[in-house]
Structure 1
Amino acid sequence: MKPRLVALLAIASLTPALAQSPPRDQLTIGITQYPATLHPNIESMAAKSYVLGFARRPLTVYDQDWALTCMGCDTLPSLDNGMAQRETTPDGRPGIRVTWRLREDLRWGDGRPVSAEDLLFAWQAGRDFSTGFGGSEFYRSAYEAIVVDPRSITLRFDRVTFEYASAGDWQPLPAHVERARWEQEPRSYRSRSAYETEPTNPALWNGPYRVIQVQPGAGITLERNDTWAGPAPAFRRIAIRTVESTTALEAQLLAGQLDMIAGELGLPLDQATALERRVGARFRIGYKPGLIYEHLDVNHDTPLLADRRVRQALVMAIDRAQIVSRLFDGRQVLAHGNVNPLDWVYDQSIRQWPHDPARARALLEEAGWRPGPDGIRRNQAGERLTIELMTTAGNRSREAVQQVIQGMWRQAGIEARIRNEPPRVLFGETLSKRRFTGAVMFAWISAPESVPRTTLHSDEIPTAERNWSGQNYTGFRNAEMDALLEAIPIELDREKRRALWQRLQAIYAEELPAIPLWFRADAHVWPRWLDGVRPTGHLAPSSLWVTDWAVR
Structure 2
Amino acid sequence: MRRTVRWQALLIGLGMALVAILLTYLALTYTTVQAPTAGGTYVEGIAGVPHYINPLLSGYNEVDRDLCALVFSGLTRFNERGEVVPDLAESWEISLDGLTYIFHLRDNVYWHDGTPFTAADVVFTVRLLQDPDYPGPPDIGALWRTVKIAEVDDYTVQMTLPEPFAPFLDYTTTGILPAHLLEGVSSADLPTLEFNLSPVGTGPFFVAEVETAEGQVQSVLLERNHRYFRPGTLVDHLRFRFYPSYSAAFRAYQQGDVEGVGRVQLEDLPEARQEEDLNLYSAQLAQYSLIYLNLAEADDLPFFQEVEVRQALLYGLDRQAIVQDLLDGQAIVAHSPIVAGTWAYDPQIRRYEYDPERARALLDEAGWVLPPGGGTRSKNGRPLSFELLASTDPLHEAIAGEIARQWGELGVEATVVITAPVGVRDALERRSYQAALVDLALPGDPDPYPLWHQTEITRGQNYAGLDHRRISEIIETARIVVDRQQRIDLYRDFQQVFADEVPAIMLYHPIYTYGVSTKVKGVQIGPLMYPSDRFATVNRWYVATKRVIISQAGNP
TM range (shorter): 0.5 to 0.7
Q: Give the superposed CA RMSD.
A: 5.0
Check conservation: 1:386, 1:415, Cα contact below 8 A. yes
For 1:30-429, list aligned pairs within 5 A. 30-31=46-47, 40-41=55-56, 43=59, 48-64=64-80, 68-73=84-89, 75-77=90-92, 84=93, 86=95, 95-101=99-105, 104-107=108-111, 116-124=119-127, 126=129, 131=134, 132-135=137-140, 139=144, 143-158=147-162, 168-173=172-177, 177=182, 180-182=185-187, 189=188, 193-194=190-191, 200-203=196-199, 205-207=201-203, 208-210=205-207, 212=210, 221-224=219-222, 229-230=227-228, 231=233, 233-235=235-237, 237-243=239-245, 246=247, 250-262=250-262, 265-268=263-266, 272=269, 274-275=270-271, 279-289=274-284, 291-296=286-291, 307-309=304-306, 314-327=313-326, 332-355=331-354, 359=359, 385-390=386-391, 393=393, 400-409=398-407, 411=409, 412-421=412-421
Q: 1:499 and 1:121, CA in 2 relative to 1: closer, same or farther beyond 3 A?
A: same
Which residue of 533, 539, 542 maps to 1:550? 542
Cα distance, 1:285 vs structure 2: 1.9
Q: Which runs of 5+ in 2 are unaligned?
A: 1-38, 545-556
2:164 and 2:480 in contact (8 A); partners too: yes
Range with greater deviation from structure 2 (360-369 or 53-62): 360-369
Using a 3 Å threshold, how does the CA distance of structure 1 residues 302 and 116 change in structure 2: closer, same or farther? farther
Conservation of the 8 A alpha-carbon contact between 1:177 and 1:194 = no
Structure 1 residue 483 corresponds to structure 2 residue 478:
no
Are the counterparts in 2 of residues 446 and 539 from structure 1 also a CA contact under 8 Å? yes
> Which residue of structure 1 aligns with residue 547 of structure 2?
none
- 1:27 aligned partner: 43
C-alpha separation between the residues in 1 aligned to 2:512 and 2:443? Answer: 14
Are the equivalent residues in 1 in contact too, given 2:51–2:196 (CA < 8 A)? no
Q: Secondary structure of 1:295's match?
A: strand
TM-score between the two structures when normalised by the length of structure 2: 0.67
1:522 maps to 2:512: yes
Tell me which amino acid in the other structure corresponds to 1:58.
G
SS of alignment partner, residue 52 of structure 1: helix
Question: Is the Cα–Cα contact under 8 Å of residues 261 and 267 in structure 1 kept in the other structure?
Answer: no
In percent, how many aligned pairs have the same letter? 18
Gaps of 5+ in 1: 1-22, 78-83, 88-92, 183-188, 464-469
Q: Deviations over 1:267-313 (max 9, x none)?
A: 33x853x3465x14231123334654343456667776794447656
CA positional deviation for 1:168:
3.9
CA offset at residue 479 of structure 1? 4.2
CA distance in 1, matches of 2:489, 2:133: 36
Taking a change above 3 Å as real, the CA distance of residues 348 and 378 of structure 1, as seen in their structure-2 partners, is: same
Q: Would you say how many aligned residue pairs link Structure 1 and Structure 2? A: 483
- CA distance in 2 between counterparts of 1:215 and 1:332 reads 38
Tell me the distance in 2 between the aligned counterparts of 1:199 and 1:368.
63
Counterparts of 1:38 and 1:367, CA distance in 2: 58
Conserved 8 A contact 1:314-1:360 = no
What is the rounded CA distance, in whole Å, between the counterparts of 1:39 and 1:300 in structure 2? 41
Deviation at 1:389, TM superposition (A): 0.7
Q: C-alpha separation between the residues in 2 aligned to 1:179 and 1:426?
A: 42
SS of residue paired to 1:451: coil
- CA shift, 1:480, in A, is 3.5
Cα 1:519–1:178 shift into 2, 3 Å: farther
8 A contact 1:119–1:171 mirrored in 2: no
Say if 1:67 and 1:528 are closer, same or farther in 2 by CA, change over 3 A. Answer: same
Q: 1:412-453: CA deviations, max 9, x gaps?
A: 2111123354xxx799x8699779955243253564x73334
